[in-house]
Structure 1
Amino acid sequence: MDLSNHPCFNAKIKGLYGRVHLPVAPRCNIQCNYCDRKYDCVNESRPGVTGAVLKPSQAMIYLNYVLEKVKNISVVGITGPGDPFANPDETMETLRWVQKQYPGMILCVATNGLAIGPYIDELAEMGVNHVTITLNAIDPEIGSQLYSFVRHGKRTLAPKPGFEVLLEKQLEAIAHLKERNITTKINTIIIPGVNENHIEAVAEKMAELKVDILNCIPLYPNKGANFAHLEEPSKSVVDNIQKKAAKHIPQMYHCKRCRADAAGILGESNSREIIEKLQECAQMPEIYDDERPYLAVASLDGRLVNQKLGKAEKLLIYGHNKDNGEIYFVEARKTPSPGSGMQRWEDLSDMLSDCRALIVAGLGDNPRRVLSQKKIDILELDGTIIEAAEAVFEGHSMDFMVQRDIQACNKKNPMAGIMGGGF
């Protein structure tokens, strides 16, 4: 594996090799005062936003498409839109799939470092060889100004005790990463009036820990964040901070403040086709292993998806022959009778425990909530059963069948985008 092909760590190849970020981590375990992840606009580039959040299997379908359409992708990373290790199951599952399917690909993650510790050994074993940690201070008086809260385990901590726990876990993680020979980059956000005169001390401490490179990133003022009133530091201020920090540790000078769904060469916006594919994949049913081999359909005639769940007295069950691609009918299952309230939907979810998805013409909030909790993906579609089943089992586009109402983002109304995650 040629580690020199990571464009974020090697400025010489930043225009030759690209990266793709898989947005599978919506939740975050800290609230930075400079961050607001509620809105996404395709016209802005900043960390913490994405056009859609993907499940691991959806991310693999999306990745396959990106690697076909975008040349010279050398890195697959997970950067959010929350924190990868506030979503450890999704993060680790995705990384395992990428490593298995693309064993020569460089893998990396970007995290605040609070919860990465228990996963470092497994990351090293699966070949994750680049990790970025955002560390903005080493002084509790300064650090306590940067965060509204830190959620550690089941406790939500106030700014000062929260920062002390965060810093402790960050320093432990950095030491462990270097023990495992994982290339480590530190991102430090330059926040005027808060930490701008403290960053050289951060650089000196990171050098002691043998961190490989420091990335001093100017604040991006986010509407809705506590620091929204602060201005972005000038180029001269950034240059001066980098010059001082460079006395202690190598600097990254070409950061583009990438989105959690960035794909391609640094600094280039995602194409319309990539954006549409991301949103399309987010609507696909999640694909499970062979323990969930079937698909359930509500149909009046056995040919079309044309019945609402509440009216269906039976559901048609279909399977998929992986060898020849054939969709085959398995059986019809009688649905629980109406009249038992929420228990009806609990019983239905048990009945469909071997199904990866349910396709209907419509359903109410109660069955949607219960079935979703049991990880049965629900799709409201118009079309033939065969088309729908092929899309589910083979990962084909079902964009022309999906019933949805997506509000697009535009320059005139930049707050009208798709939500980029949440707690």
Structure 2
Amino acid sequence: MTLKLENHPCFNDSARHTFGRIHLPIAPKCNIQCNYCNRKFDCMNENRPGVTSKILSPLQAMHYLEQAIALTPSIAVVGIAGPGDPFANPDETMETLRLVRAKYPEMLLCVATNGLDVLPYINELAELKVSHVTITINAIDPEIGSEIYAWVRYNKKMYRDVEAAELLINKQLEALKKLKEAGVTAKVNSIIIPGINDTHVIEVARKVAGLGADILNCMPYYSTTETVFENIDEPSPEVVSEIQNATAEFLPQMKHCARCRADAVGIIGEINSDEMIQKLAEAASMPKNPGEHRPFIAVSSLEGVLVNQHLGEADRFLIYGQDKNGCSVLLDSRAAPPSGGGQERWKALADLLKDCRALLVNGAGDSPTKVLNANGIEVMVLEGMIEDAVSGVFNGLSLKHLMKSSQIHACGTSCTGTGGGCG
């Protein structure tokens, strides 16, 4: 297998008008919170990392990719860039990369990460011939980094301030070094934040060049509502150009970055077509494994009107389907497996709901969620009217307005962002 590395439009300016890329949005969780990052908004005209209209499972992503390649034959690169960090979602990320490599052996594979948790996966990335990796490194000085990052979550422990920045920076630099030892082409993104790190980016360039980085992307900070940095002005084109010229002493520059969405598809700079937006929505509304026939949705409810019962307290589950007109209808009520029994109880529940693509609950523990997810049943923690939630799932609509805060903050803790990612 010979990969045409020169066809990557982000790493090669001459390729960007000919070859396209697709980002598969399969990684919703993040392991850091940047003070410029807000994942709540989804405007189809907004291009910035972390924004996506849908989240896909690995198998949904493969179905979507097949449709995308048929509609957009210019695609030469399959990338994973969030909407969170790929390696805060390592199972989904690695499964997707394996599936793509197996089906499309000549496709370039690419991931964009903050670098915190990528180290354990670098050897397999190299084995899968993931040819391009981008790490966003905004500082190499922990004091400066502490102004950029609100928190870092590593090995289930939260870090803040200088300690968080120091941990993140050390992991980033170690990952960059190991990527280059593994023969992977590495790009470094540095976001220029006026008054924070704008005079420091040249030091970042000097450091990462010494570790073997191949190209540098000095990205202008994007002002985003409801973030710590929302009142900071974006850097002027003149300032960005000055920094690019200064850092060019150390590394080649990427100057054509379009700050792509986590669901971007096609030629860089072009917005997603209406047809591709529809294909993404269709994929998201399918069972997690589109090859399975899972026509129903299960709901845990106290009275049958609201999604308002914790999974562990449910004694029965309401089963919804669709009539011939596509309207949601209650079809059945199934008794829950008896309490106790640990993992066996959740395996029994997975078997009980094996014809359901999703289970809507008001709360759920990690153990049952993992078992049900592994059996193709998506556990969705919501609050609100059953009719709205079920209809939304069947039709692939956004359910952000129904999600509980513990789901929106995917890191699982209170934070200033959505946990959606800073890759």
Which secondary structure does the structure 2 equivalent of 1:353 belong to?
helix
Take 1:221 and 1:114, find their aligned partners in 2: how far apart are those partners?
24
User: Would the aligned equivalents of 1:52 and 1:279 in 2 still touch at CA under 8 Å?
Assistant: yes
2:225 to 223, 248, 263: 223
User: 257, 260, 281: which is aligned to 1:279?
Assistant: 281
Q: Equivalents in 2 of 1:180, 1:238: separation in Å?
A: 32
* Alpha-carbon distance change, 73 to 162 in structure 1, aligned in 2, over 3 angstroms: same
How far, CA to CA, are the matches of 2:205 and 2:179 in structure 1? 17
Q: Which residue of 1 aligns with 2:5?
A: 3
What amino acid does structure 1 have at the position aligned with 2:355? Answer: A
| 1:406 partnered with 2:397 | yes
Alpha-carbon shift at residue 40 of structure 1 (Å) = 1.0
Cα distance change on mapping 1:71 and 1:34 into 2, 3 Å: same
Change over 3 Å in CA distance of 1:348–1:226 after alignment to 2: closer
Instruction: Tell me the alpha carbon deviations over residues 45-96 of structure 1, each in whole angstroms, 9 at most, x when there is no partner.
Output: 1101100111111110110110010121000000000000000000000000
Query: Which of 123, 126, 143 lines up with 2:125 in the alignment?
Result: 123
- State the partner residue of 2:300: none
CA contact (8 A) 2:54 2:398 kept: no
Structure 1 residue corresponding to 2:356, chosen from 355, 358, 367: 358
SS in 1 for 2:14: helix
Give the structure 1 partner of residue 372 of structure 2.
Answer: 374
Structure 1 gap ranges (5+): 313-334, 380-399, 410-418
Deviation at 1:366, TM superposition (A): 7.0
Please report how far the alpha carbon of residue 368 of structure 1 lies from its aligned counterpart in structure 2 after TM superposition. Answer: 9.6
Structure 1 residues 150 and 401, CA, compared in 2 at 3 Å: closer, same or farther? closer
Distance 1:308 1:342 in 2: 28
Deviation of 1:9 (Å): 0.2
Amino acid of the structure 2 residue aligned with 1:14: R
The aligned amino acid for 1:374 is L
Determine helix, strand or coil for the equivalent of 1:270: coil
* Root mean square deviation, CA, Å: 3.4
Matched, 1:308 2:331: yes
Distance 1:118 1:352, change over 3 A: closer
- The residue aligned with 2:75 is 73
Point out where structure 2 has 5 or more consecutive residues left out of the alignment: 297-317, 379-390, 401-407, 411-417
Q: Could you say which structure has the larger radius of gyration?
A: 1
CA shift, 1:355, in A, is 6.8
- Find the aligned partners of 1:296 and 1:52 in 2 and give their Cα distance: 20
Distance in 2 between residues matched to 1:404 and 1:16, nearest whole Å: 34
1:16-415 alignment, distance < 5 Å: 16-287=18-289, 307-310=330-333, 350=348, 352-353=350-351, 356-358=354-356, 365=361, 374-375=372-373, 403-404=394-395, 406=397
1:376-416, CA deviations, whole angstroms, 9 ceiling, x for partnerless residues? 5569xxxxxxxxxxxxxxxxxxxx9974483699xxxxxxx
Report the TM-score when normalising by structure 2.
Answer: 0.77
SS in 1 for 2:351: coil
**Match of 2:397, as an amino acid?**
I
The answer on whether the counterparts of 1:294 and 1:355 sit within 8 Å (CA) in structure 2 is: no
**Gap change, CA 1:420 and 1:252, over 3 Å in 2:** farther
Aligned residue pairs, count: 362
Return the alpha-carbon distance in structure 1 between the equivalents of residues 148 and 319 of structure 2: 54
Q: How many angstroms does 1:282 deviate by?
A: 1.1
Alpha-carbon distance, 1:341 to partner: 8.4
Deviations 1:333-387 (A, max 9, x none): xx669xx7899xx968616539753279xx87479996886235569xxxxxxxx
TM-score normalised according to structure 1 size: 0.77
CA shift digits 1:259-283 (9 cap, x unpaired)? 0000000000001111121122112
- Maintained 8 Å contact 1:114/1:166: yes
Match of 2:312 in 1: none
